[in-house]
Homo-oligomer: A and B are copies of this chain.
Amino acid sequence: MSNQPETTIHDIARALKISASTVSRALNDNPIISQATRNKIKKAAEEMGYRPNVVAANFRTKRTNTIGVIVPLINRHFFSSVISGIEEIAYEAGFAVTISQSKDTFEKESKIAHTLFSNRVDGLILSIAMGTQSYDHLKLFSKRQIPLVFFDRVVDEIDAHKIVADDFGGGYKATRHLIEQGRKRIAMIGGPQNLKIYQYRQAGYLKALEEAGLQADESLILHNSLTREDGTQAIRKLMDAANIPDAVFCANDTTALSAIIYLQEKGINVPQDIAIVGFSNEPFSEVVTPSISTVKQPGFEMGKKAAVLLIRQINQKEAPENFETITMPTELIIRNSSRVI
């Protein structure tokens, strides 16, 4: 069971009585090598079980053909859609993709970023963790001219291409829809305000209220981390207050679900008594009862776009003179949690 030594281009060169450089060139389909020798070399490589040592090549060329991706949680439908989009483009362009999850903590995000940097990924695509407030681990990349593309949860302080969904429009459309359903006291369960996306969703909500001549009520606006538990706590707080809402716009589907479950337990009718709209279009939102109205983000498309921009930047080797922020449209999906038929 001894470790058989790796076949290298030198072994092939020796066997064929040619030089290693010719082997290298042939294997890389360098057109300068004649078709005949190229075939001969490839055949020999095949027979000898040659496997290129990519690590050595990466070391030599200073390129790894690898893109790093950091998402808060792999297991969110939106994020895994983005990942699929990134993979599709990267795959076509000959890049491998390394995926990591920050678990929404700054500590893990920073550690991952350093690891990816040390492993010399050619570029990085990421959506920052909820807890991230310092950006040294990302400045590392910009300082060394390693292309960086943000999506969804972006950072103003760093110059880079940014792909975002139209969170403002989503919040606006969701709220406007509730208003059109005749709701007057519309609460909001929002996310951490250090993240732009949650600021924008809330801004859209406020804008819709204002347009409709409805007074925003501070006591109806809550902020938390948007987990199942946070959602339950938030809806309880809303319902225990003096002046209960007749609708709730939730900044994600998870808290929308919490709200629905809590209200059902209390015998309160959704949507008749209280209408609910979520955000993100998680798969479960379609299949729960009542199905959850929500705002759909084009995750797959965002991933593709992010990868295209990143790879372009990698290949041109120059930092672009100006960075784009691309806003992709969101779509309100009206389901039973907000529609009084």
Q: Name A's B-contacting residues (CB within 8 A).
A: 1, 3-4, 6, 51-56, 58-59, 64, 66, 74-75, 77, 80, 83, 87, 96-101, 115, 117-120, 140, 143-145, 257, 261, 283-284, 287-289, 319
A81 nearest in chain B by CB position:
B75
The residue that A117 contacts in the complex, of B51, B120, B284, with Cβ under 8 A, is: B51
The residue that A52 contacts in the complex, of B83, B87, B99, B118, with Cβ under 8 A, is: B118
User: Are B288 and A118 in contact, with the CB atoms below 8 A?
Assistant: no
User: Are B59 and A87 in contact, with the CB atoms below 8 A?
Assistant: no
In the complex, chain B residues whose CB is within 8 Å of the CB of A66:
119
In the complex, chain B residues whose CB is within 8 Å of the CB of A284:
283-284, 287-288
Q: How far is the CA of A64 from the CA of B99 in the complex (A)?
A: 16
Known A55-B120, A115-B96, A118-B52; contact A145-B1, beta-carbon cutoff 8 A: yes
Instruction: Kindly list 19 other residue pairs between chains A and B, CB separation below 8 angstroms, not including A55-B55, A55-B120.
Output: A1-B145, A3-B145, A51-B117, A51-B140, A53-B118, A53-B120, A54-B120, A55-B58, A55-B64, A59-B59, A66-B119, A75-B80, A87-B101, A96-B119, A97-B100, A98-B99, A257-B287, A261-B287, A289-B289
Q: How far is the CA of A63 from the CA of B249 in the complex (A)?
A: 51
In the complex, chain B residues whose CB is within 8 Å of the CB of A289:
288-289
Q: How far is the CA of A99 from the CA of B144 in the complex (A)?
A: 25
In the complex, chain B residues whose CB is within 8 Å of the CB of A143:
4
Chain B nearest CB from A338 CB (Å) reads 17
The residue that A4 contacts in the complex, of B53, B144, B257, with Cβ under 8 A, is: B144
In the complex, chain B residues whose CB is within 8 Å of the CB of A55:
55, 58-59, 64, 119-120
User: Are B74 and A77 in contact, with the CB atoms below 8 A?
Assistant: no
In the complex, chain B residues whose CB is within 8 Å of the CB of A59:
53, 55-56, 58-59
The 3 closest A-B pairs by CB, nearest first: A289-B289, A75-B80, A54-B118
In the complex, chain B residues whose CB is within 8 Å of the CB of A117:
51
21 contacts between A and B (CB under 8 A): A6-B144, A51-B118, A52-B118, A54-B118, A55-B59, A55-B64, A55-B120, A56-B59, A74-B74, A74-B80, A74-B83, A75-B77, A75-B80, A87-B101, A99-B99, A99-B100, A283-B284, A284-B284, A284-B287, A287-B288, A288-B289
A288 nearest in chain B by CB position:
B287
A117 nearest in chain B by CB position:
B51
Chain B nearest CB from A241 CB (Å) reads 26
Q: How far is the CA of A52 from the CA of B87 in the complex (A)?
A: 28
In the complex, chain B residues whose CB is within 8 Å of the CB of A257:
287
